Structure 1
Amino acid sequence: MKSIKDLIYFDYDKAKSLHSQLSGGLLQEITRAVENEDGTNTELGFDIKILKAKTGFNDKEKLIKTERIEVYHELLNDIEEKLESNDLMKNLNQELNNSFEEFIEKVPDYTYVKASGWCTFEDYEKLKIVLENFNEIQRLIFGSALQENPEVANLQKQIDEKLKSLKRAHNQKEINNLKIIQKKFDQLIEEKSGASLLDETLVERLQLFLATLNPNRLNFRLIPFDDFPEFQLVANLKNQFLVNGTFENVIYTYGSRPNIKLTIFGIITNCPQKHDLRTDPSSEFLYTDEDELTVEKKYDKVFRGVFSAMEGLEKFFDVYHPKVSVSPIGIYREIIMNK
């Protein structure tokens, strides 16, 4: 069934490798305009980084960008058709025929999948920025709304004077006084407006937690079945493969939680089960007395314990049954052509 696709994300490197394996070679179409512009001979005749530093487009650049997107679509369509014809790709929206339980049992056997549904984009880097500035934004909004209140106005005036003073001389005593006044200001606007400010220590700890375990992560989460929202496809996106250049452009276009269903195509990489059937590498030490271990094995056991502890922390950001992780090749809005 033919369709029109509005590409949001396309992992060109993964697509190129997959297409090469499926067809024994690459697409033969060569985009001469980009080849001439860049002065290099790439497999498809273009360099996906060529427009990275551009701030605007002239006619020639528009032509390059258009031809690049055309090849992306051609490559994506060809891969999907080849996988489908070889029964290597499952359209999940069509696989739920009987019970949800039966469907879940079949999922671990799937490799390449495609699904459409409601989705969200989760930008953890932006979350860290929001956490850092959340209280200041609250102070600006609710403080401005309460400017007519004499207590609020007086405290705001004191804060402004302290800040001006600190610009001239960095004095620790003045900094401590500023913090006391800011605390009074926060308590007052919370009391008068119903604002809810975050504890600064909590914010710092959350930022440390995210920076340590989840740096620069951009998630895409999709729900294929409205009646079973617990089943979700979760994908980690790479900024360089966003077709429009930046995540902000995606948000401005579709929103962080689009009200139009999108489609993801990729390979399942993590499919947790109710009962973990995997063999734990640390199991080799279960029935061995500590005194029987060599020095090498003792060190090995210690470091495996450390990695097991890290794995426990990483579970905060990992998928769990019945969710699955997908390494995405393409994310797009698909419009099916009936004729």
Structure 2
Amino acid sequence: MDVRNVRDFIYIDIDRVKSIISQLEEGLVDQTQTLKGKSEGAALGGEGGITGFLKGKADSELKLHQQLSETKSMHDYIYNKAEKLLLDKKQLLRVPNKETSYSEKMRDSIGRNSFVLVRGKILINDFSQLKKLIDNWEKLSKYFAKCSIHADRDKLTLEQANETYMNLLQNFTKDFDEEMRKGMLLFIDMFYKDRIVIKIIPYVESPDFRLVGNIDKQYLRDDIDSITYKYGTAPYSNWTIFGQIASLPPKNESNEQFNMTGNQIESAFNAIFDEYRNIERMAQSVTYPEIAITPIAIYRE
């Protein structure tokens, strides 16, 4: 029995999918036509001839044929076709596969392939939302502090309530002064702007190994706010990303001018969120042991 998986596509770049198929098959057919028909027969008899050549009794059968033409657009099925073609030609690597745990050998094998099909936990990092959060952190901190003492407002004196409020506010903002806030906003404006970065973690026991790519908003099936509202920025279920390998950063790469790695900048971003809810881990760039990919399709099954 032909059992086909129904995929919930979050993101799909149809143009890239078509490009893959057209290169592998030397062309692309994105529509198919199915013909359905039936025939009915009728026996005819007669005496005589036709222009003197045919004489006697002739029996013939007249075929009446009705034909129905059905045109199908391949639409999302075109993705299934691209995936199957790449698997058949051994140009698509599944991750995880027989390698059940992360290793340098496995990482290098990914880098030697053009396309990967990765299943695992994902993080969605929307930098426009992060910018809003940083820009309004002081106001939000005051709100969080007020909410924290609200439940005990009847048990505290005014002086105790004010002291508790100030302590909570200081705790929320202690590692995030005005200079830090301005610096992060400037950094986002210069390097990230409204970028959406997706990271997938195929090996839970090795969370630092991730495949990372930028999302082109025009290929999202829904707007990013709706997606994060439904699934969150770190969904609990496993998702699948079909992507093309972009780069394999070398080990121990550092920025000599600032003596700072992408992971150190990532840690600076994380300090904002540690006491809030650990929203995401933000990265300055794709750094070892991560691998950069170009997402072509993202879906759940």
In the superposition, the TM-score normalised over structure 1's length comes to 0.60
The offset of 1:150, in angstroms, is: 4.5
Task: Measure, in 2, the Cα distance between the counterparts of 1:273 and 1:313.
Answer: 13
Task: Return closer, same or farther for 1:194/1:26 CA change in 2, 3 Å cut-off.
Answer: same
Structure 2 residue identity aligned to 1:216: D
Aligned to 1:266: 243
Could you list the per-position Cα deviations for residues 51-109 of structure 1 after superposition, in whole angstroms to 9, with x for gaps in the alignment? xxxxxxxxxxxxxxxxxxx8442111111011111111111211416872321232221
Could you list the per-position Cα deviations for residues 160-195 of structure 1 after superposition, in whole angstroms to 9, with x for gaps in the alignment? xxxxxxxxxxxxxxxxxxxxxxxxx9x973226764
Secondary structure of the 1:76 match is helix
Secondary structure of the 1:22 match is helix
Secondary structure of the 2:96 match is helix
Task: Measure, in 2, the Cα distance between the counterparts of 1:90 and 1:192.
Answer: 49
- 1:89 counterpart = 2:92: yes
Task: Return closer, same or farther for 1:318/1:95 CA change in 2, 3 Å cut-off.
Answer: farther
Q: Does the 8 Å CA contact 1:93/1:116 hold for their aligned counterparts?
A: yes
Aligned to 2:111: 108
Secondary structure of the 2:136 match is helix
The offset of 1:257, in angstroms, is: 0.5
Aligned to 1:332: 299
Task: Return closer, same or farther for 1:21/1:228 CA change in 2, 3 Å cut-off.
Answer: same
Q: Does the 8 Å CA contact 1:263/1:331 hold for their aligned counterparts?
A: yes
Task: Measure, in 2, the Cα distance between the counterparts of 1:233 and 1:137.
Answer: 32
Secondary structure of the 1:4 match is coil
Secondary structure of the 1:212 match is helix
- 1:213 counterpart = 2:191: yes
Q: Does the 8 Å CA contact 1:120/1:220 hold for their aligned counterparts?
A: yes
The offset of 1:10, in angstroms, is: 0.7
Structure 1 residue identity aligned to 2:9: L
Structure 2 residue identity aligned to 1:265: F
- 1:189 counterpart = 2:165: yes
Secondary structure of the 1:94 match is coil
Structure 2 residue identity aligned to 1:102: K
Structure 2 residue identity aligned to 1:330: A
Would you tell me which structure has more helix in proportion to its own residues? Answer: 1
Structure 2 residue identity aligned to 1:6: D
5 Å-filtered alignment, 1:20-59, equals 20-29=22-31
Could you list the per-position Cα deviations for residues 195-243 of structure 1 after superposition, in whole angstroms to 9, with x for gaps in the alignment? 4223223211110011111111111111111232232111110111111
Percent of matched pairs sharing the same residue: 25
Aligned to 1:231: 209
Structure 2 residue identity aligned to 1:253: K
Task: Return closer, same or farther for 1:98/1:200 CA change in 2, 3 Å cut-off.
Answer: closer
Q: Does the 8 Å CA contact 2:238/2:300 hold for their aligned counterparts?
A: yes
In the superposition, the TM-score normalised over structure 2's length comes to 0.67
The offset of 1:111, in angstroms, is: 1.1
Aligned to 2:40: none
Aligned to 2:45: none
Aligned to 2:142: 139
Alignment coverage as a number of residue pairs: 231
Q: Please, what is the CA RMSD of the aligned residues? A: 3.2
Q: Does the 8 Å CA contact 1:142/1:195 hold for their aligned counterparts?
A: no
Structure 1: gaps of 5 or more residues: 31-69, 154-184, 277-307, 335-339
Say which of 4, 7, 14 aligns to 1:5: 7
Q: Does the 8 Å CA contact 2:242/2:295 hold for their aligned counterparts?
A: yes
Task: Measure, in 1, the Cα distance between the counterparts of 2:190 and 2:19.
Answer: 32
The offset of 1:132, in angstroms, is: 0.8
